[in-house]
Chains A and B, each alone.
Chain A
């Protein structure tokens, strides 16, 4: 153990190999599994859910988080929330976008268009930090792919995850709904301005105050806007934001699989016929 420690100090980088997991591993709680409509080989996104999720994103999260990889036009894309074109235009037009320079060399503001990227709430990371007590609200474009909600012991993890996936959307849902009072021994040294959240990957203290409150948004389809419902909807929306071609992929996958299986059977029969007369 001592020599190992020496090795690690010698290779300054390798420190991360040992120190990292000791800090965080085992402490993060497993996210609650949710039966999302987009799971499994035939799962598709629930359009109404994506539309509700976008509403939550737009009205709540976008005040702090950017989603740089989405453009407004994506909201109308096939396999996504599939908002009607007029609505996509209207959503885009709500923001002011800086464009230019014009013929006089001046930058100017204009209403957004569907081809514009989602407008970020802050113009740079430093501004974002300054407005959030020094913490950076991460870009949410890929959050459901970059984070894992499920942590299992090493001897089952590779097998279980083959079926459950990494639980990225569950992670987002768990962070949004997982605020609790800290356990007593932690409560004494609670950092200023932070909340206790046992699901947060870099936690358990998080600089995001609980963003969702009961009936925080008003759904137009009459769904009750409970915290849990909003968290599910926005997690589904972010799952789509991370993997916008998922439906196309699964549809093509089914065709490819059927094609390959038929071809495999035919090839096997050819091979069988060919080798029938050879002792082997």
Chain B
């Protein structure tokens, strides 16, 4: 995509075709794309995410052939899929588990980027596109969870959509628009289904841009040092394709474990009870991947403030490239930042537990501290650590750092995994 292709079709037909639509040379460039040779297994999650997207699309489209988006039939149509459609149970469990797997992969992928400084120049646009994909995924998953029309579908939708009423002046209007009326009802389900079908294709578009943006500077790597020469890289195929392929299959083992042995572990039991607008469940909790953000929402004792904090928790990611004052990318060479990175991860896990528990007693205090720390990480710690930290010396190149790991003569050892 950058510069001219080295690919010359031999076959006259291919030559004629490629001249008018250079798909062949583009695919060729894609396959030989020079990729740092020192990538570890955290770099396989991009491929895993693409696989997740395809799995959701394929299972989702087939589910939609059997699903009925109507409040009186949605719940039983999902059970019809589970019981009467051939392998319907498999499709549905793959799709429902797939939502969670998608988020596991995206969280690892994002944390990888934060650890190795992949968001820094020249990859800011790539990072921003990633955050947009995260937002789209959240909207898609939220609306998907409403479709089976169980108790948690309904009440989750009600609680989350009602938050929009906090927006000054237009809030109520926005909520009415989301609901398609004056309560969560059939019009809501219909528009959510339509949007849940649409959004994944928007994600596909965003992913295409994301990968395009990746192919301009190329991949970052565990040293954070830019590629200096051909010595530092291997062609994408077969080196990275086979490594990604191996990692994807290991990921599928985890995926299959949940689909076949714990298909309902990641969901809520109460969602197997049909939605009842007159019966509020004991605890209204979102899917596990929303819990940290839900905790941030509830940490602020003011509705609008809570909504702003929750939105801010994601929006702040857009600014990360400019909040980070360090010129060194990889945390490997940043002794202080590295420790704060892990504190941040722990903080997010704590927020997850806070989000899962009722806001009572000391959960409230813990949630407020953890929320404050979340923002402090981005607004105070990252800018300050970059200024005061004394980074370790960087290797001159990727090849040099690789050689330092295993001196000449010894066989190449496996990279740390």
Q: Which A residues contact B (CB, under 8 angstroms)?
A: 1, 3-4, 6-7, 10-11, 13-14, 16-18, 20-25, 41, 68-69, 74, 138, 141-142, 145-148, 154-155, 161-162, 165-166, 168, 242, 244-245, 248-250, 252-254, 256-257, 260-261, 263-264, 267-268, 270-271, 274-276, 278-280
Q: Would B261 and A41 count as touching, CB distance under 8 A?
A: yes
Distance (Å) between the CB of A9 and the closest chain B CB?
A: 10
Do A13 and B162 touch (CB < 8 A)?
yes
Contact A249 B79 (CB under 8 A): no
* A161 → B minimal CB distance (Å): 7
Distance (whole angstroms) from the CB of B346 to the closest CB of chain A: 14
Per-residue contact bits, chain B 260-299, to A (CB 8 Å; 1 contact, 0 not): 1111110001111100000011111000000000000010
Q: Please report B residues at the A interface, Cβ cutoff 8 Å.
A: 37-38, 76, 79, 82-83, 89-90, 93, 155, 158-159, 162-163, 234, 238-239, 242-243, 245-246, 249-250, 252-253, 256-257, 259-265, 269-273, 280-284, 298, 301-303, 306, 353, 356-360, 364, 399, 402-403, 406, 412, 415
* Structural contact, A274 and B282, CB atoms closer than 8 A: no
19 intermolecular pairs with C-beta atoms under 8 Å apart: A1-B364, A4-B301, A6-B301, A7-B301, A7-B302, A7-B306, A13-B159, A16-B284, A244-B83, A245-B83, A249-B263, A253-B259, A260-B249, A260-B252, A260-B253, A268-B246, A279-B402, A279-B406, A280-B37
Shortest Cβ-Cβ A-B pairs, 7 listed: A253-B260, A146-B272, A3-B301, A267-B246, A16-B280, A20-B282, A21-B358
What are the residues of chain B within 8 A of A263 when measuring CB–CB?
Answer: 249
A162-B265, A271-B246 known; A16+B155 contact, CB < 8 A: yes
Q: Which of B155, B364, B412 neighbours the largest number of chain A CB atoms within 10 Å of its CB? A: B412
Name the B residues within 8 Å of A275 (CB-CB): 239, 243, 412
Q: Is the interface of A mostly helix, strand, loop or mixed?
A: helix
Residues of B within 8 A of A267 (CB): 242, 245-246, 249
Q: Are B246 and A17 in contact, CB atoms less than 8 angstroms apart?
A: no
Q: Would you give the shortest CB distance from B43 to chain A, in whole angstroms? A: 12
| Contact yes or no, B253 A264, CB < 8 A | yes
Min Cβ gap A111→B in Å is 23
Task: Give the Cβ gap from A264 to chain B, nearest Cβ, in Å.
Answer: 5
Q: B238 is contacted by which of A13, A25, A274 (Cβ under 8 Å)?
A: A274
- Alpha-carbon distance between A214 and B259 when the two chains are bound, in angstroms: 40
Chain B, residue nearest A275 (CB): B239
A169 to B163: give the CA distance in the assembly, Å: 37
Residue in B37, B272, B406 whose CB lies within 8 Å of A242: B272
Chain B hits for A22, CB < 8 A: 358, 360
- Using known A-B contacts A161-B265, A166-B269, A253-B260, determine if residue A14 contacts B249 with beta carbons closer than 8 Å: no
Inter-chain contact B259/A280, CB cutoff 8 Å: no
